[in-house]
């Protein structure tokens, strides 16, 4: 089963994708993670995208489609979770063709709805464990007082360079201008389910499970 988790930055796509990886053995394909890896390892492509990402703009369709194409051709999985991809209509069309080429289908698109005020709070308070990627929030889920990650015991935590109010404004604009039209695109194909991304993590998890059982 292949699904897309859609929603603005901070909607909780990464958190829910991690859960599906743990509980169902699906494979998370996050173009944001792939681009950050490229940036950190200093590849040519990483250098090109670093500035665009820091500003909160979208990198080119060509680059992200190339990244997804390579994964679909090389990774065998019991189902993919597309997280942060597609973000434009061109990417959505490309994904459809790539899956078809691999003899696969797209089974569900889940839109996580969250209002903007909550997103600013979530994003500016967000940090992750540098070792396992567990997500923390200064207000709702602070790093434990002993400074150790609850999942892996790691002691190093990082904040994303683009998790600040300035880039977030651009990221939200990019989402509403270029990505939100995909909601209509998938609705018209009968694939879309909307869920309340403001509910607590377990409730959202339950709603996603219900969609997958259908
Ligand atoms: P994310 O981790 O999904 O929030 O992505 C972080 C940043 O990576 C975005 O603000 C974009 O600059 C870039 N990015 C990630 N995925 C895509 C995509 N599918 N299309 C274009 N840019 C992307």
pLDDT at 116: 87
Q: How far is the CA of 84 from the centre of ligand 1 (A)?
A: 6
Phi, psi of 128 (to 5 degrees): -135, 155
Taking the C-alpha atoms of residue 13 and residue 19, their distance in angstroms, rounded to an integer, is 10
Taking the C-alpha atoms of residue 108 and residue 20, their distance in angstroms, rounded to an integer, is 14
Taking the C-alpha atoms of residue 209 and residue 3, their distance in angstroms, rounded to an integer, is 12
**How wide is the angle at C-alpha 88 spanned by C-alphas 85 and 93, nearest 5°?**
85
pLDDT at 97: 97
Catalytic positions: 13, 87, 126, 160, 171
List residues near ligand 1 (CB under 6 A): 9, 31-32, 35, 52-53, 56-59, 64, 84-85, 87, 91, 162, 171
- Taking the CA of residue 56 as reference, the ligand 1 atom at the shortest distance is 10
Taking the C-alpha atoms of residue 85 and residue 31, their distance in angstroms, rounded to an integer, is 6
Q: At what angle do helices 165-174 and 44-55 cross, to 10 degrees?
A: 100
Q: Among 10, 16, 35, which is best to mutate for testing ligand 1, by the most ligand atoms less than 8 A from CB?
A: 35
Helix (H) or strand (E) holding 136: strand 135-137
- Taking the CA of residue 9 as reference, the ligand 1 atom at the shortest distance is 4
pLDDT at 113: 95
Taking the C-alpha atoms of residue 49 and residue 63, their distance in angstroms, rounded to an integer, is 9
Does this model's pTM top 0.95? My answer is no
pLDDT, mean of each 10-residue run, the chain (214 residues) = 96 93 95 94 91 95 97 94 98 97 95 91 92 90 96 95 91 96 97 95 96 91
Q: Which of 18, 212, 34 has the alpha carbon at shortest distance from 133?
A: 18
């Amino acid at each position: 089963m292949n699904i897309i988790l859609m929603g603005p930055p901070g909607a909780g796509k990464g958190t829910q994708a991690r859960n599906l990886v743990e509980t169902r053995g699906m494979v998370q394909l996050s173009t944001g993670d792939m681009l950050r890896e490229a940036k950190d390892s200093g590849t040519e492509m990483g250098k090109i995208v670093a500035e665009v990402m820091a500003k909160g703009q979208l990198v080119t369709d060509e680059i992200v489609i190339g990244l997804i194409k390579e994964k679909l051709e090389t990774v065998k999985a019991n189902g993919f979770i597309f997280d942060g991809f597609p973000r434009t209509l061109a990417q959505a069309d490309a994904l459809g063709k790539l899956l078809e080429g691999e003899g696969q289908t797209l089974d569900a698109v889940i839109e996580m709805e969250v209002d903007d005020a909550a997103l600013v709070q979530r994003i500016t308070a967000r940090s992750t464990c540098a070792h396992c990627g567990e997500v923390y929030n200064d207000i709702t889920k602070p790093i434990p007082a002993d400074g150790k990650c609850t999942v892996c015991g790691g002691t190093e935590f990082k904040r994303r360079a683009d998790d600040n109010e300035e880039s977030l404004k651009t990221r939200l604009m990019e989402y509403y201008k270029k990505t939100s039209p995909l909601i209509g695109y998938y609705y018209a194909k009968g694939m879309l389910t909307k869920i309340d991304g403001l509910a607590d993590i377990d409730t959202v998890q339950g709603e996603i499970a219900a969609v997958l059982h259908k």
